[in-house]
Amino acid sequence: MDLLTQTIKNIGPLDKAAMEKAKARQDQLTKPAGSLGRLEALSIQIAGIQGKASPEIKNKAMITMAGDHGVVDEKVGNWPREVTAQMVDNFLNGGAGINVLARQAGARIVFVDTGVASDLKPDKQLIVRKIDYATKNMCKGPAMTEPQAVKAIEAGIEIVDAEFKKGLDIVGTGDMGIGNTTASSAIFAAFSGKNVEETTGRGTGLSDEQLKHKIDVIKRALAVNKPDPSKPIEVLAKVGGYEIGGLAGVILGAAARKIPVIIDGFISGAAAIVATRLAPQAKDYIIAAHVSAEAGHAAMLEYLGPNPLLDLEMRLGEGTGAALGIMVAEAAVRTLNEMATFAEAGVSEGE
């Protein structure tokens, strides 16, 4: 059995017994019932994911995947393709937003080259799983072949498996790739049937005229490729990206290993749609860190299902929102485990 099929097969339901025990403890903690709001529900969800009434978040990892996009040839943004490789160098030098927030979260960072258009300098922090040197221009045909799409997903699964062996309690997803909001908008439109105008935002800060052009490019790509929403691999292959496929694999691999996965913004959301179309059960393992300021992300999360933890008007990507989400998840678990119950504290319960 191939890795993708086996991984999907290994994704089961959440552990209801663990969730019931976690809920029972939440109800006995020294606070009015429900007074910690979303933190309470989050701790119970993580208990169900991990299958532990007292879940743990000690070993944390951010997986940030990079890839270039052939659709950049259509002038859909303000940044040249070379910025992808330059930003990965910045990641490796510790100078990007994701480096700062992952350090604060106490999470190790795994940087992955799934399809950067150039060869990156070797670095012990960088995993090279290059499927190709950028995707093809999706306005002229499929962005990649279906075997390449599967290879990208399986790369993500394999990276989670490797991190699991090091110890892994929670994982966050991040991305880097000039042109990837265009691919993500196309994926969302293909699966949801929404108008491209509803699924497309300004990315790195487009003018009204540039946004109109970007929408036209996505419409052309969808018309040329006619992706079938009932076939997730086909959609990814025709209008997706290598880093998007890789992140879909991270989500599937984490779910199969009973690891909560904190997704970042718009690009991670597109990856999550691909993952949950392949394995609907994976939806229960996904926690949305935040709602991005990128137009279409709120609609994407509504379509996908998870209610975002934060709304900080962020739209950087890289996994920055996911790093913050890991901090919130850790806070939820620690309050469940470390707060005293009324009996333990000798405090009288309210009526």
- State residue 205's pLDDT score: 76
Structure tokens of 194? 């929404």
From 3.40.50.150, 1.10.1610.10, 3.30.420.10, 3.40.50.620, which CATH number describes the 3-55+336-345 domain?
1.10.1610.10
d(CA 184, CA 164): 28
d(CA 264, CA 272): 10
Task: Say whether 60-329 and 3-55+336-345 share the same fold.
Answer: no
- State residue 349's pLDDT score: 82
From 3.50.30.50, 3.40.190.10, 3.40.50.10210, 3.20.20.210, which CATH number describes the 60-329 domain?
3.40.50.10210
User: By the 8 A CB rule, do 285 and 251 touch?
Assistant: yes
d(CA 126, CA 48): 32
- pLDDT one digit per residue (tens) for the chain, 351 residues: 799 999 999 999 999 999 999 999 999 999 999 999 999 999 999 999 999 999 999 999 999 999 999 999 999 877 889 999 999 999 999 999 999 999 999 999 999 999 999 999 999 999 999 999 999 999 999 999 999 999 999 999 999 999 999 999 999 999 999 999 999 999 999 999 999 999 998 876 788 888 899 999 999 999 999 999 999 999 999 999 999 999 999 999 999 999 999 999 999 999 999 999 999 999 999 999 999 998 899 999 999 999 999 999 999 999 999 999 999 999 999 999 999 999 999 988 865
pTM value is 0.97
- State residue 348's pLDDT score: 86
d(CA 254, CA 163): 10
- State residue 28's pLDDT score: 95
Q: Hey, which residues are catalytic here?
A: 318
Structure tokens of 110? 């795994």
d(CA 117, CA 70): 9
Q: Which residues pair with 263 in a beta bridge?
A: 288
Structure tokens of 138? 């999706």
**What does DSSP say about strands 60-67 and 261-263: parallel, antiparallel, or unpaired?**
unpaired
Please report, for the chain, the start and end positions of each structural domain, with discontinuous segments joined by +. 3-55+336-345, 60-329
